[in-house]
Amino acid sequence: MSLAPAPIKARAVAAAPSARPLAAAAHPTTHPSAGGGAAPSVRPSPSASVRPLPAIKVLGFSGSWLRSHPIAQPPAIDGRAAIVVDVSSGQILYWQNASTRYPEASLTKLMTAMVAADVAPLDQSITVTPAAAQMPPTRMGLGAGEQLTTRELVEGMLLDSGNDAAEAIAQGIVDRARFISLLNQKAAGMHLKDTAFANPTGLDDPAHYSSAYDLAVMLATILRDYPEIRAIMGQRSIAISATGTHGAFTPYNLDRLLWSYPGTVAGKPGYTDASGYCLVVAATRGNRTVLAVVLGSDQHFTDGATLLNFGFAHPVIR
């Protein structure tokens, strides 16, 4: 039986943040879903080419604009945590429980995609393990033994939100435990103080969480440093033709704002019993890009549009 998201409605606007919150909130209560995050350790293909994580250009956001521009009427959203950022200036425009740790569901796949691109060529072939092919509940539709490129698996992971694709990446590039270690190493290098990974998919686990602030940094980093991942996230659908090593796939983007919100350039929704509905999304108008994150919502796409509208209605004068 599916558990309804916790009915926590935090409406008050917290004090304007500094460039990075120092205090970490307590771990949230989670309800591990069927299947959990565990999977057997799988040895990667001997032909796998693994690179070290690259040097990280740390990205952070400032709360100076928000401190000097008190919000008279905060955006009316259903989510329990949210943040709005003007990407060009790095200024936080709105902040609600944004440093509090929550389960973030499939938004995890932002980091899985970045680490995959960091350590393996996107044209590297990966063999799908039986354990990966059986991952519930959202799937790209992979079969055990199929061979796809890292890029094709990232496409299925980010558009279909395929847990099978995420696990195929984690089990096929390096040992799964090593891949999860790389996720946490990358998070530490990015100074994400309210993030920890226990799996590559986002399935509920008490040791797996993030915050609205940290997720905003992840998406902003993709926008800045990972143009190929950004391009994938901006696609409504992708056709992957059948080859001699795999069948045909048609990943379809689950981010409805790509259709309904003009200027949307990248987004990723997610859901688990513990997290509720979550969303990261970025949109561009003119020379401005606004990024929004909402966690623990019953109407994440509506909240995402509301937060983007708020961001575009509050320009940062420089």
Whether 237 sits among the annotated catalytic residues: the reply is no
Identify the CA nearest to 126 among candidates 98, 156, 105. Answer: 156
List of residues 6+ apart from 149 with CB closer than 8 A: 122, 123, 124, 125, 126
Q: Which two tokens stand for residue 233?
A: 């996230």
Whether 193 sits among the annotated catalytic residues: the reply is no
Q: Which of 106, 210, 211, 297 is catalytic?
A: 106
At residue 262, the 3 state secondary structure works out as: coil
Q: Which two tokens stand for residue 8?
A: 């926590």
Which stretch of DSSP H or E encloses residue 130?
helix 130-133
Residue type, 229: I
Identify the CA nearest to 80 among candidates 93, 92, 97, 95. Answer: 97
Q: Which of 33, 109, 193, 211 is catalytic?
A: 109
Residues paired with residue 295 on neighbouring β-strands, in sequence order? 81
Whether 186 sits among the annotated catalytic residues: the reply is no
Question: How far is the CA of 221 from the CAs of 118, 257, 291, in angstroms?
Answer: 13, 20, 11
Q: Which of 161, 211, 275, 297 is catalytic?
A: 161
Q: Give the chain's end-to-end CA distance (angstroms, integer).
A: 51
Q: Which residues are catalytic?
A: 106, 109, 161
